[in-house]
Amino acid sequence: MSAQDIETNSPDLWFKHWPWPEGDTHKHARGALGCVTGPAASTGAARLSARAGLRVGAGLATLFSPPGAVLVNASHETAVMVKPFRDTEELAALAETCQCALIGPGAGVSDATRNNTLTILEKAGSAVLDADALTVFKDEPETLFQKVNRPTLFTPHPGEFGRLFPKLLDTETREAAASMAAVRSGAVVILKGAESVIASPDGSIVRNTHASPFLATAGSGDVLAGIAGGLMAQGMPVFEAACAACWVHGDLGRRLGPGLIAEDLPDALPALLADFYDSKA
């Protein structure tokens, strides 16, 4: 793999795919994002993802919540909706209503997360898998990969990446490892880091250098996943959505700078999007 094969992330790569609403657009036409939450004490991460997806333009964002977490989620949300599910059958019905569903943040490493993830992959229009939805398959990664039949994005940090793709990062460059992982899994992969790598199963590789060290804070990755999911819910192709999410996430970090926390990131999106919207004219 040569340096010529790797592009540097910039809006030139994906801005033409940005899903702006038309004058007669309604919320249902802008796409629905579903985010599966964990148990009551671990719901914040999925809420960050859902809020980011809504802010980036998804017409609807809904938290798919275990019954025991419904009151916690509902007490924190207004524009983001909350719908309960008791089992994979009920989750499947919810997932079928979504152009994109996201699972993993705060989900827990459990049989429930494993089964819920497989359900999302089978039933949602597209999927973003992060955190626990990846880790839970560390002993059976092929079971996960065999279910990747629709547009799917994996967003691992190096530790999660190593659980699904053992030793790749020990023997390959980050770019080569991400590319091999994308081919093996069938998913677009964001290998997160100070310089994130976005790799597609078709061999496309992009390095994102547009970032900020102040993004190294709890929940930041959940916002990144939510931005990507919100764009995918609106119909943006998964590779372009992944590249756009990394650049936008990095730009938010640069704008906010020292002292930022993850909760700040979704609410900083309108100013960035306004600049984007002005530039498209």
CATH number, domain at 108?
A: 3.40.1190.20
* Beta-carbon contacts of residue 2 (< 8 Å; ≥ 6 apart): none
Quote the domain boundaries for residue 201.
25-280
The DSSP output letter for 21 is: P
What CA–CA distance (Å, rounded) separates 113 from 149? Answer: 19
Yes or no: say if 224 and 245 are a contact pair by the CB < 8 Å rule. yes
Q: Is residue 37 part of a domain?
A: yes
In a domain, 8, yes or no: no
Q: What is the pLDDT confidence band of residue 78, given thresholds at 50, 70 and 90?
A: very high
Q: Is residue 257 part of a domain?
A: yes
- What the block records as the tokens of 158 is 């190096």
Q: Give the single-character DSSP code of 267.
A: H
For position 2, what pLDDT does the model report? 52
The answer to whether residue 82 is domain-embedded is yes
Residue-wise pLDDT tens digits, 128-162: 999 999 999 999 999 999 999 999 999 999 999 99
* Percent over 90 (pLDDT), the chain: 94
Cα-to-chain-centroid distance, residue 175: 19
Q: How many helices (H) and strands (E) does the chain have?
A: 12, 10
Q: Output the pTM of the full model.
A: 0.97
Distances (CA, A) of 185 to 47, 96, 143: 27, 23, 10
- The mean pLDDT of 35-56, rounded to a whole number, is 97
Q: Considering only CA atoms, which of 105, 115, 131, 87 is closest in space to residue 34?
A: 105
Mean pLDDT across 215-235: 98
Is there a domain that residue 6 lies in? Answer: no
Res. 24 pLDDT band, cuts 50 70 90: confident
Residue 131 forms part of a structural domain:
yes
Number of structural domains the chain divides into: 1
Q: Is residue 181 part of a domain?
A: yes
Question: What is the SS3 assignment for 7?
Answer: strand
Q: Say if 12 falls within a structural domain.
A: no
